[in-house]
Each structure stands twice: as structure tokens, then as C-alpha cells.
Amino acid sequence: MLEVRALAETCGVLLTEEDVTWAMAQFDAFTPDSTASMQRDLAAGRKSELEDQNGTICRLAAQAGIAVPVHATIYRSMALLESLRSA
């Protein structure tokens, strides 16, 4: 979320500390057995929202010259998994 916040600010969108806290609270509320829709899509052999979610963050960050190492790692790892599923 800190990467998203920094990117948003670069793009002229204000995300407050409260916004980040609220978003993180949503993640913290998940139970240990929760799965993300992207995880369920990959497990079922379906195309995920990777490009729309992490891919967009990575592309916008590259255009803005902002480093997003967490999102870049997630994107590369998940893209590899997705490519293996479609191979």
C-alpha cells in the first residue's frame, strides 16, 4: 500500500495515511484460510486479473519513474505461474 500511495501521489491522487490504514485493515480482517480471487483463478486454470491489478501498478510506476519492488516481484512471480498454466 505504501508503493500504491507513493505512485498515487506522483499521479496527483491523494491517499491519506487513513486510507492506507483502512486498506491494510481490510487485509488484516481476512481469515487464515482466505484466498485471493487471483489465487483461485490460477488454481482453476483461468486467466487472472494480474495485468489489471499488479500489471497496471508496474506500468504506471515505470512511466512515473517510481520504484515498486513489492509489486514488481508479485507481478513477475505471478506472470510466471500464469504462463506455466497456459503452456
Tens digits of residue pLDDT in 28-54: 999 999 998 888 888 888 888 999 999
Give me the number of domains the chain comprises: 1
Cα angle, residue 49 at apex, residues 61 and 53 outer, rounded to 5°: 20
**What pLDDT score does 86 carry?**
62
Any idea what the CATH number is for the domain that residue 61 is in? 1.10.1040.10
Which of helix, strand or coil describes residue 66? coil
Q: Return the DSSP state at 50.
A: T
% residues pLDDT > 70 (the chain): 98
**Structural domain of 39:** 2-86
